[in-house]
Amino acid sequence: MNNTLYSSVLATVLFGMFLNTTHAQELRPRAVEAGFCASPIISWATTQTETYESTGIKMGGYYGLVTDVNLVRTKEITYFSTGILFKHIRFGLKYTDNYDLVKKEEMIDSARITSTYNTLFFTIPTAIKMKTERFSNFAIFGIAGLEHGFRLSAKSNDRIIRLNDTEERADKVNRTDNIVLLKESIFAEIGVEYTLFKRTKATFGIGYNYGLNSIFKRKYKNLITQERVAANIHNIEFQFGFIF
């Protein structure tokens, strides 16, 4: 009888310790969180090159995978944030230049040109992410850091107006000779995170991204003025995603 009672008490204590340990493990912040995200992008270019001006905002987008590495293991407040993103950036410029119209094997002198650029970059963000303590399944976060973009493709749709006001169009013109291979940006984002179930979270954020270097290569010059063409890209991003 005593042995049976002793065994029952011991089993109860051990089971309680197991539950307590399991509960503590569930509550312990994870070392790494991963998920996917996507975002529409509003982009525009700014330039100081003479005779060049922006044609306003263009719509693009990105999608990819994100990873947050917890830097303070006892809390969910500070992370190193990175990932891999495929970023479609569109922008437009209006300018005067000589234009090589390949389809007609013709060089158009002093043409008034409107170019809409469509670029694709493979980007790797490296940033610090800060989060507030959770309240009612919500947490507010902020991210700031650098983004390293590698050009995958670059094309443009061009509208060309001659001196006699006749018009030509050229679509999907290859622009890889003019667009940089490596694009560096600085960015910041603020958003909210909502816990859906245990480790599953939904996120939404609004961010601003500024290109530190010109989107054009240094060798790209206006054929009339021989001035180097330079433009910096601005993005406003509306990111949403899920963390598992």
Give 66's strand partners. 35, 83
Indicate the pLDDT class of residue 228, thresholds 50, 70 and 90. very high
Cα 83 to the center of its chain, rounded Å? 10
Whole-number percent of the chain with pLDDT over 70: 89
Q: Does the pLDDT value for residue 14 go beyond 60?
A: no
pLDDT at 86: 98
- Give bridge partners of residue 98 from the DSSP assignment: none
Give the C-alpha distances (Å, rounded to integers) separating 43 from 57, 124, 125: 5, 19, 18
Report the C-alpha gap between 203 and 216 in whole angstroms: 34
Q: What are phi and psi of 17, to 5 degrees?
A: -65, -40
Q: Which range scores top for mean pLDDT: 13-27, 28-42, 209-223?
A: 209-223
Reported as type and span, the H/E element at residue 218 is none
| DSSP category for residue 177 | T
> What mean pLDDT value characterizes the chain?
90
Interval 92-138: pLDDT, tens: 999 999 999 988 889 999 999 999 999 999 999 999 999 999 888 99
Measured in residues, the chain has a length of 244
Q: Is the pLDDT of residue 171 over 60?
A: yes
The three-class DSSP label of residue 74 is coil
- pLDDT-derived band of residue 226, with 50, 70 and 90 as boundaries? very high
Give the whole-angstrom CA distance, residue 165 versus residue 10.
Answer: 95
Two structure tokens written together for 2 = 């005593």
pLDDT at 225: 94
Q: What would you measure as the largest C-alpha separation in the chain, in angstroms?
A: 110
The mean pLDDT of 27-47, rounded to a whole number, is 92
**pLDDT for res 125:** 98
Tokens of 101: 């119209």
Query: CB neighbours (10 Å) of residue 57?
Result: 15
> Cβ(63)–Cβ(241) under 8 Å?
no
Coil vs helix vs strand at 56: coil
Predicted confidence band at 89 (pLDDT cuts at 50, 70, 90)?
Answer: very high
Is residue 159 over pLDDT 90? yes
